[in-house]
Amino acid sequence: MEISENVKKLIQTQITKEYASSLMYTGFANWCEIKALKGFGTFFKKHAEEELMHAQKFITYLNDRGKFYPPATIEPPFTGFAGKGCVDFVIASLNQEQEVTKSIYEIYKAAESDGDYMSKEFLAWFVNEQKEEENVFGDLLA
């Protein structure tokens, strides 16, 4: 059965968001490294890599369904590093993850309402992953 057109488009947009998250975490990692905050640098670098893995997971899924992800322009969700530090980065990370959770929910809802159960099944992994992502950053601010 064909993937729902709506779900395909939302996943394409989501892939770009995952790359944007990766770019944001890469920026945080680099800033921490040059400020001799190596532990935070490693922490954010790991997150940057995870986001690339998320993007690739979506791409592989679209490929498996015979659909193409046309590379898109990536806008970093965080700019303006001057005067900012680790607490700002963790707050920005939590905000970004909450936004990503919303967009994953939108895709999940679309899959459900279009009767695209293959996509719904696939997306369940991301719903669970977002719980972990939000907890990682939320716990740092608790």
Q: Is 97 in the site for ligand OFO (CB under 6 A)?
A: yes
Q: CA of 137: how far to CAs of 42, 71, 95, 142, in Å?
A: 15, 29, 9, 9
Q: Which of the ranges 31-39, 59-67, 92-100, 117-125 carries the binding residues for ligand OFO, by CB under 6 A?
A: 92-100
Q: Is 133 in the site for ligand OFO (CB under 6 A)?
A: yes
Q: Tell whether residue 18 is a contact of ligand OFO (CB under 6 A).
A: yes
Q: Give the nearest distance from C-beta 79 to ligand OFO in angstroms.
A: 17
CA distance 97 to 78: 13
In the window 20-49, what residues touch ligand OFO (CB under 6 A)? 21
Task: Report the nearest approach of ligand OFO to the CB of residue 25 (Å).
Answer: 8
3-state secondary structure string, 53-78?
A: HHHHHHHHHHHHCCCCCCCCCCCCCC
Number of residues that bind ligand OFO (CB under 6 A): 8
Tell how many helices (H) and how many strands (E) occur in the chain.
4, 0
Query: 10, 11, 48, 100: which one contacts ligand OFO (CB under 6 A)?
Result: 100
Point out the residue whose Cβ comes nearest to ligand OFO: 21
Tokens of 24: 């944001």
- Distance between CA atoms of 63 and 15, rounded to whole angstroms? 13
Interface with ligand OFO (CB under 6 A): 18, 21, 51, 54, 96-97, 100, 133
